[in-house]
Chain A
């Protein structure tokens, strides 16, 4: 491009339009690594939880701890992607913020789910109240610790949120479909026991992130190959 060329008004307008279009066409840079990682981890944890409940075996630790361990490779992936990114769009900046808020929200809900039962018992005890549960068959009465009912359903609503936002903003159908499926799993989980909620949560991870991640990865590889041909 020659800087010294004198532009007519029409040429100026054409150049502005052309450059804006070129910038627009550079948005889809993701290689799908993060989506594959989280889809695989959440999918595995959900299905493993279901398997343990159903077939009565234990792997010796809470399988959902893997979601915390997955934060380690995620940090490395994020650093690498940031280094390789040659442009950041306004849309990308907003979507990054959505995913950060999603991460904080998931963390907050997990703290909520683990804190509320004990805190409730203590607060009620201060008011000289104890919750009891009664076995209607034997008549036995035991102290009862309240818990967040169908907690996995709440997690699934949060899973769907950033996925659907990203899908709609990017017009990326696999994430739109994944998000809609996730809301479907949420509705189904309202009527199922926690054993099946875990399985649905695993399916949500696979539909929300794993499958769209694989599609993104294929697109990225194809684009990379086309660039080097």
Chain B
């Protein structure tokens, strides 16, 4: 029996964000934007969706009068990502 793939993660941009965040301790919005090549608007929406399901923590602050958004994967996010990769492996039999 195949596990259903997590619909939150089974989307191109959200999966890219989670893959980046699983590799680092924390990353700024600008870093994620640069690496994914997404538009700020689209990225913002997907970051919000990941935050709503508690897969990531988002911290907003001002540094030298400029807004700075830092994202960090949560324990729930790590577990979901691991489950997603396991499910993928099952599908691909790797």
Contact B25 A9 (CB under 8 A): no
In the complex, residue of chain A having the shortest beta-carbon distance to the beta carbon of B38: A1
Contact A87 B31 (CB under 8 A): yes
Q: How many residues of A contact B (CB 8 A)?
A: 27
User: In the assembled complex, how far is the CB of residue A170 from the closest CB belonging to chain B, in whole angstroms?
Assistant: 15
Give Cα A26 to B20, complex, Å.
11
User: In the assembled complex, how far is the CB of residue B46 from the closest CB belonging to chain A, in whole angstroms?
Assistant: 6
Contact of A22 among B5, B30, B35 (CB under 8 A): B35
A88 at the binding interface (Cβ < 8 Å): yes
Give Cα A32 to B86, complex, Å.
41
Contact B28 A23 (CB under 8 A): no
Q: Assuming A9-B88, A9-B91, is B24 touching A87 (CB within 8 A)?
A: yes
Give Cα A83 to B23, complex, Å.
21
Q: Quick one: which of B14-73 are within 8 Å of A by CB? A: 14-16, 19-20, 22-28, 30-31, 35-38, 42, 45-46, 63-64
What would 22 A/B residue contacts be, using CB atoms closer than 8 Å? Answer: A1-B13, A2-B12, A3-B45, A3-B46, A5-B12, A9-B5, A9-B91, A12-B5, A12-B10, A15-B12, A15-B16, A19-B23, A20-B20, A20-B22, A23-B23, A23-B27, A26-B35, A86-B28, A87-B24, A87-B26, A87-B27, A89-B25
- B residues with CB within 8 A of A: 5, 10-16, 19-20, 22-28, 30-31, 35-38, 42, 45-46, 63-64, 85, 88, 91-92, 94
* Interface pairs A-B: 10 shortest CB-CB: A19-B19, A23-B23, A3-B13, A86-B28, A86-B31, A87-B27, A1-B38, A9-B91, A16-B19, A88-B25
